[in-house]
């Protein structure tokens, strides 16, 4: 079995076998670029080692053979006392992973070869001892788990003794002394001497790389990122080149374009007389890469040539690591580089212009999560605003408002129209109403998976969590931070992307990308490269996608905005908000009605109000379909809370007032109390139990449509029955609705569809029967997830999802992204069996998942006709639907 590949034997497509680093080192070698020679030990060797606890048979021999070839090529032997070959041992999995062992440089140095190295470097003792102390440090830390601080400490000590803060002021003697100190540290922690045998150093380092695949942090990271646990890591053994040989040597990192903005140019950092990670470690100040032109023009020109070549070859932004050894350039790493969301769009557009990729490929180079990021409003920051604290950017966005410390106060102030920021040590389910009312949430404790973070993300609300400099005192209604005291009502601003917290109100502006979607920024006129790129890529996504994109909107204003964002109809218009505000009283009358007459008069009063709402929406969506869901939540949600009512009644009685009305209400609330309201009297069940309720709604919808038609507005209502579990439920509602439709539509030409939500698992499993009575299905994936998993969304997210995420039971909440195997399977079954029964059945989805990138791809695969999501998510869904199609 072949476990070891020379760099000349691999290529960039062998990442599974050679890891990312090894595959790209091989690719560069074969491009003829100056890569120090070396070889890669495969992920298969790693897997075999991990399975049995020892190196697989043949591996040691293959390493020996490749090492011998490397020695022959370099004309040096590993660790030779006179003229040593040194190597680096570098881990490199398919995906780079925090928690795995990184790199050991200068393997092959020992008490004797350090002298030979100095001689080979023209008597540069300093260089040799610096290299040796680095080996002991890296080997000790990564191979033998010696605490890194101890080495750092000894190094600081040596510098202090010398009265300097710069490594370069340490001379050969100082460094020799440091080597002794390091060896003592090594011995103290491992109980053995630092290994002097070069091949033993090499073997131990290789083993440590293998074993680091199962380090706790690596395991956890893989679980959370859903990286398979059985990939293993490769190990690269690379001949050392030295950037620490003097002023004509150095090391650097570079990007082929600006990873921040995507702009073309030269982006990188260089550090003379340095090795390995010194550039990023921030020990000394790096210089901008352009400086290299002055320091070493030949290497600089060669580097620029190589960077251009790599971009053309990889057809993408690359990042690189390089080292210059006495005026000779060496390439040590490249990969397709990470970039910001803005850069991703700009670069994709540029590469199309440059003819390196086509527009389909450009769609693969960006994603909906990046687009969503570009749509958040931003703070207009100037020097006036300095952050007072920094927490975790738990849910992105920019929010300013008055500080409140309780959920109740948040609700009160928000009802007065004040923007509020809810500040808590941490949140719990009691804070839910306050979180809904607030513009943003700030907590002093908890991370990305805390209650506040999870719930805020679910609501799309700005949240900074774990800002631990903030000391929150709820009883006294104030918090302190860095000498400031902030009281209830004071203004603060929080940035949910960066985690920064500001005092006062930082002005917020919509992003350019939103201005473009809103239509206030013309992509043909602007010189904003990002907007032009977004426009171009969105246009292509629209031309490619098969899924239509609708929006969830309950008001004319939402509908209008969504339409500007590209929505092609309304997939979910909830009618329950139409029962709130000053209409509550009418709803109370409906619920309290003791006679048919009382009930009918309450319904008659609601009818014109509902009709007016629908007219507004139909007008905004002129010509586009509008799916209206009949009332869904339990009726007691429209009544005052029990405790409050009880108090009112008691107080009124005390004062000797007439309380008949309140008592009746109280009775009704008691009567309607449910243990599990989400599984109780709601949805279609309400319609079947309360005579005339659905009929009133159907009448309001159809009358509104007819009214529009008379004025030349094309209304296309689709009436949607919620929470159906059995076809008989739907048939009953349908029979009544059809009568009303026939009566109201007359010769107006209005066409009305009747369909149902598929959100109860039983409905999904009997979809073939239900399709007989439904002209469309809309998957309510929120409830389907809730009932499919048996999770009460309002209760579980804050209660234990953090633990599930931590344990890797799921990598993302199933309410955020559809659970393909379970809930997704219900969708698939219902789609197939529904279509089998009624081929022209329209299929859509209206849960939160409709705007989630991963889920959009799933709905595309399952063959739905459209997804529907909140207005702000419409562009994201358009983009992802396009990406799913290419």
Pick 352 or 758: Cβ nearer Mg ion: 758
How far apart are CB 337 and ligand ADP at their closest, in Å? Answer: 13
Write down the residue that tokens 């702009």 correspond to: 263
How far apart are CB 9 and ligand ADP at their closest, in Å? Answer: 18
Binding partner of 323, given Mg ion, ligand ADP, none, CB within 5-8 angstroms per partner class? ligand ADP
Q: Which of 459, 574, 571, 549 minimizes the C-alpha distance to 815?
A: 459
Instruction: Name 357's Cβ contacts closer than 8 Å, sequence gap at least 6.
Output: 315, 348, 351, 365
Q: In this structure, are residues 235 and 283 in contact, taking their beta carbons and an 8 Å threshold? A: no
Pick 189 or 574: Cβ nearer Mg ion: 574
Binding partner of 240, given Mg ion, ligand ADP, none, CB within 5-8 angstroms per partner class? ligand ADP
How far apart are CB 868 and Mg ion at their closest, in Å? Answer: 13
Q: Which of 365, 377, 712, 651 minimizes the C-alpha distance to 513?
A: 377
Binding partner of 783, given Mg ion, ligand ADP, none, CB within 5-8 angstroms per partner class? Mg ion
Catalytic residue among 846, 849, 857, 869: 846
How far apart are CB 841 and Mg ion at their closest, in Å? Answer: 20
Rounded to whole angstroms, the Cα distance separating 443 from 798 reads: 14
Neighbours of 503 (CB within 10 A): 19
Could you confirm whether 636 is annotated as catalytic?
no
Please report which helix (H) or strand (E) contains residue 106, including its range. strand 103-107
Q: Which of 566, 430, 460, 459 minimizes the C-alpha distance to 882?
A: 566
Pick 613 or 759: Cβ nearer Mg ion: 759
Write down the residue that tokens 């509020």 correspond to: 420
Pick 85 or 740: Cβ nearer ligand ADP: 85
Burial label, 315 (beta-carbon count in 10 A; 0-12, 13-18, 19+):
middle
Residue 767 in tokens: 């979809």
Using CB under 5 A as the binding rule, the residues of this chain from 147 to 166 that contact Mg ion are none
Instruction: Name 748's Cβ contacts closer than 8 Å, sequence gap at least 6.
Output: 705, 706, 709, 710
- Report the relative pairing of strands 462-465 and 471-473 from DSSP bridges: unpaired
How far apart are CB 195 and ligand ADP at their closest, in Å? Answer: 20
Rounded to whole angstroms, the Cα distance separating 192 from 83 reads: 27
Binding partner of 343, given Mg ion, ligand ADP, none, CB within 5-8 angstroms per partner class? none
How far apart are CB 621 and ligand ADP at their closest, in Å? Answer: 53
Binding partner of 67, given ligand ADP, Mg ion, none, CB within 5-8 angstroms per partner class? none
Burial label, 708 (beta-carbon count in 10 A; 0-12, 13-18, 19+):
buried
Q: In this structure, are residues 209 and 91 in contact, taking their beta carbons and an 8 Å threshold? A: yes
Rounded to whole angstroms, the Cα distance separating 500 from 390 reads: 4
- Report the relative pairing of strands 318-325 and 250-257 from DSSP bridges: antiparallel
Rounded to whole angstroms, the Cα distance separating 695 from 736 reads: 7
Pick 75 or 597: Cβ nearer ligand ADP: 75
How far apart are CB 40 and Mg ion at their closest, in Å? Answer: 15
Q: Which of 673, 684, 671, 554 minimizes the C-alpha distance to 630?
A: 684
- For residue 568, the cross-strand partners are none
Q: In this structure, are residues 579 and 587 in contact, taking their beta carbons and an 8 Å threshold? A: yes
How far apart are CB 180 and ligand ADP at their closest, in Å? Answer: 25
How far apart are CB 388 and Mg ion at their closest, in Å? Answer: 36
Binding partner of 238, given Mg ion, ligand ADP, none, CB within 5-8 angstroms per partner class? ligand ADP
Question: Is residue 786 part of the contact set for Mg ion (CB under 5 A)?
Answer: no
Q: How many residues bind Mg ion (CB under 5 A)?
A: 5
Please report which helix (H) or strand (E) contains residue 417, including its range. none
Binding partner of 780, given Mg ion, ligand ADP, none, CB within 5-8 angstroms per partner class? Mg ion
Instruction: Name 692's Cβ contacts closer than 8 Å, sequence gap at least 6.
Output: 599, 600, 603
Pick 103 or 868: Cβ nearer ligand ADP: 103
Interface mask toward Mg ion for 306-345; x: CB under 5 A: ---------------x-----------x------------
Question: Is residue 278 part of the contact set for Mg ion (CB under 5 A)?
Answer: no
How far apart are CB 106 and ligand ADP at their closest, in Å? Answer: 9
Binding partner of 868, given ligand ADP, Mg ion, none, CB within 5-8 angstroms per partner class? none
How far apart are CB 286 and ligand ADP at their closest, in Å? Answer: 12
- The number of angstroms, rounded, from the C-alpha of 225 to the middle of its chain's C-alpha atoms is 11
Catalytic residue among 46, 66, 318, 451: 451
Pick 333 or 350: Cβ nearer Mg ion: 333
Residue 168 in tokens: 């370069």
Residue numbers at the binding site for ligand ADP (CB under 6 A): 36, 88, 90, 102-103, 105, 238-241, 276-277, 321, 323, 332-333
Pick 371 or 757: Cβ nearer Mg ion: 757
Burial label, 429 (beta-carbon count in 10 A; 0-12, 13-18, 19+):
middle
Rounded to whole angstroms, the Cα distance separating 212 from 102 reads: 9
DSSP symbols for 419-445: -EEEEESS--GGGHHHHHH-SEEEESS
Closest residue to Mg ion, judged by C-beta, is: 783
Q: Which of 813, 734, 811, 825 minimizes the C-alpha distance to 774?
A: 734
Rounded to whole angstroms, the Cα distance separating 408 from 197 reads: 70
Exactly one of 783, 797, 819, 852 binds Mg ion (CB under 5 A); that residue is 783
Could you confirm whether 846 is annotated as catalytic?
yes
Pick 336 or 745: Cβ nearer Mg ion: 336
Binding partner of 277, given Mg ion, ligand ADP, none, CB within 5-8 angstroms per partner class? ligand ADP
Q: In this structure, are residues 559 and 617 in contact, taking their beta carbons and an 8 Å threshold? A: yes
Pick 682 or 878: Cβ nearer Mg ion: 682
Binding partner of 770, given ligand ADP, Mg ion, none, CB within 5-8 angstroms per partner class? none
Secondary structure letter of residue 678 according to DSSP: G
How far apart are CB 657 and Mg ion at their closest, in Å? Answer: 40
Sign of torsion over alpha carbons 327, 332, 335, 338: negative
Q: Which of 686, 631, 678, 629 minimizes the C-alpha distance to 787?
A: 678
Pick 238 or 292: Cβ nearer ligand ADP: 238
Pick 662 or 783: Cβ nearer Mg ion: 783
Please report which helix (H) or strand (E) contains residue 853, including its range. helix 853-862
Question: Is residue 92 part of the contact set for Mg ion (CB under 5 A)?
Answer: no
Binding partner of 316, given ligand ADP, Mg ion, none, CB within 5-8 angstroms per partner class? none
Binding partner of 106, given Mg ion, ligand ADP, none, CB within 5-8 angstroms per partner class? none
- Report the relative pairing of strands 77-78 and 378-379 from DSSP bridges: unpaired
Exactly one of 780, 798, 850, 851 binds Mg ion (CB under 5 A); that residue is 780
- For residue 627, the cross-strand partners are 718
By the criterion CB under 5 A, which residues form the site for Mg ion? 321, 333, 759, 780, 783
Supply the residues annotated as catalytic.
451, 846
């Amino acid at each position: 079995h072949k476990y070891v590949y020379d760099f000349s034997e691999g290529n960039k497509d062998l990442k599974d076998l050679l890891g990312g680093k090894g595959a790209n080192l091989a690719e560069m070698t074969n491009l003829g670029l100056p890569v120090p020679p070396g070889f890669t030990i495969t992920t298969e060797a790693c897997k075999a080692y991990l399975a049995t606890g020892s190196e697989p048979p043949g591996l040691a021999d293959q390493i020996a053979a490749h090492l011998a070839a490397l020695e022959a090529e370099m004309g040096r032997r590993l660790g030779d006392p006179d003229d040593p070959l040194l190597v680096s041992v570098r881990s490199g999995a398919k995906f780079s992973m925090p928690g795995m062992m990184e790199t050991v440089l200068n393997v092959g140095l020992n008490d004797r070869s350090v002298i030979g190295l100095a001689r080979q470097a023209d008597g540069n003792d300093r260089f040799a001892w610096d290299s040796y102390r680095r080996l002991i440090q890296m080997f000790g830390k990564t191979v033998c788990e010696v605490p890194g601080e101890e080495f750092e400490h000894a190094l600081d000590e040596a510098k202090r003794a010398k009265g300097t803060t710069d490594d370069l002021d340490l001379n050969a003697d100082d460094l020799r002394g440091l080597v002794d100190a390091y060896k003592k540290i090594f011995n103290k922690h491992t109980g053995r001497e630092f290994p002097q045998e070069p091949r033993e150093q090499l073997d131990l380092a290789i083993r440590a790389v293998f074993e680091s695949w199962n380090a706790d942090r690596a395991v956890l990271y893989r679980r959370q990122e859903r990286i398979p646990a059985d990939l293993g890591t490769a190990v690269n053994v690379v001949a050392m080149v030295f950037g620490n040989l003097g002023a004509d040597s150095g090391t650097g990192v570079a990007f082929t374009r600006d990873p921040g903005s995507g702009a073309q140019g030269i982006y990188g950092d260089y550090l003379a007389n340095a090795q390995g990670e010194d550039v990023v470690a921030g020990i000394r100040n790096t210089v901008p890469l352009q400086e290299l032109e002055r320091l070493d023009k030949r290497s600089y020109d060669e580097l620029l040539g190589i960077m251009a070549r790599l971009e053309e070859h990889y057809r993408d932004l690359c990042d690189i690591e390089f080292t210059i050894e006495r005026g000779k350039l060496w390439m040590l790493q490249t990969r397709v580089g990470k970039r910001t969301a803005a850069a991703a769009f700009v670069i994709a557009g540029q590469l199309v212009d440059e003819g390196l990729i086509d527009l389909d490929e450009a769609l693969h180079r960006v994603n909906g999560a990046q687009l969503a990021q570009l749509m958040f409003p931003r703070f207009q920051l100037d020097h006036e605003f300095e952050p007072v604290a920094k927490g975790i950017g738990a849910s992105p966005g920019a929010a300013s408002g008055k500080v409140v410390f309780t959920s109740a106060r948040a609700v009160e102030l928000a009802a007065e129209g004040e923007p509020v920021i809810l500040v808590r040590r941490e949140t719990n389910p009691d804070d839910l109403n306050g979180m809904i009312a607030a513009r943003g949430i700030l907590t002093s404790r908890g991370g990305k998976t805390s209650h506040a973070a999870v719930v805020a993300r679910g609501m799309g609300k700005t949240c900074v969590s774990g800002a631990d400099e903030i000391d929150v005192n709820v009883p006294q209604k104030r918090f302190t931070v860095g000498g400031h005291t902030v009281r209830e009502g004071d203004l603060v601003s929080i940035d949910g992307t960066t985690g920064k917290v500001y005092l006062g109100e930082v002005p917020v502006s919509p992003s350019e990308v939103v201005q473009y979607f809103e239509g206030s920024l013309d992509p043909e006129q602007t010189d904003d490269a990002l907007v032009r790129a977004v426009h171009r890529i969105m246009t292509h996504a629209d031309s490619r996608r098969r899924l239509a994109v609708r929006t969830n909107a309950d008001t004319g204003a939402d509908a209008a905005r969504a339409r500007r964002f590209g929505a092609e109809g309304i997939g979910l218009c909830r009618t329950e908000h139409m029962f709130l505000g000053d209409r509550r009283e009418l709803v109370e009358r409906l619920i309290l009605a003791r006679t048919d007459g009382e009930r009918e008069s309450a319904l008659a009063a609601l009818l014109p109000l509902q009709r007016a709402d629908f007219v507004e929406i139909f007008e905004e969506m002129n010509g586009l379909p509008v799916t209206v869901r009949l009332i869904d939540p339990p009726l007691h949600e429209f009544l005052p809370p029990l405790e409050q009512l009880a108090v009112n009644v008691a107080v009124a009685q005390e004062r000797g007032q007439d309380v008949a009305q309140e008592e009746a209400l109280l009775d009704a609330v008691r009567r309607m109390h449910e243990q599990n309201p989400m599984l109780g009297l709601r949805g279609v069940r309400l319609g079947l139990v309360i005579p005339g309720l659905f009929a009133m709604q159907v009448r309001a919808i159809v009358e509104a449509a007819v009214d529009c038609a008379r004025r030349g507005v094309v209304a296309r209502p689709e009436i949607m029955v919620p929470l159906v579990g059995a076809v008989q439920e739907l048939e009953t509602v349908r029979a009544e609705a059809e009568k009303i439709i026939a009566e109201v539509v007359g010769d107006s030409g209005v066409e009305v569809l009747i369909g149902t939500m598929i959100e109860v698992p039983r409905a999904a499993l009997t979809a073939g029967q239900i399709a007989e009575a439904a002209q469309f299905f809309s998957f309510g994936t929120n409830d389907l997830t809730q009932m499919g998993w048996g999770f009460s969304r309002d209760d579980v997210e804050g209660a234990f999802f953090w633990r599930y995420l931590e344990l890797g039971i799921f990598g993302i909440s199933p309410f955020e992204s559809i659970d393909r195997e379970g809930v997704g399977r219900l969708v698939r079954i219902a789609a197939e069996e529904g279509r089998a029964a009624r081929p022209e059945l329209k299929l859509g989805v209206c849960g939160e998942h409709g705007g989630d990138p991963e889920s959009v791809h799933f709905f595309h695969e399952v063959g739905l006709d459209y997804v529907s999501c909140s207005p702000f998510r419409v562009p994201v869904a358009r983009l992802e639907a396009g990406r799913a199609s290419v």
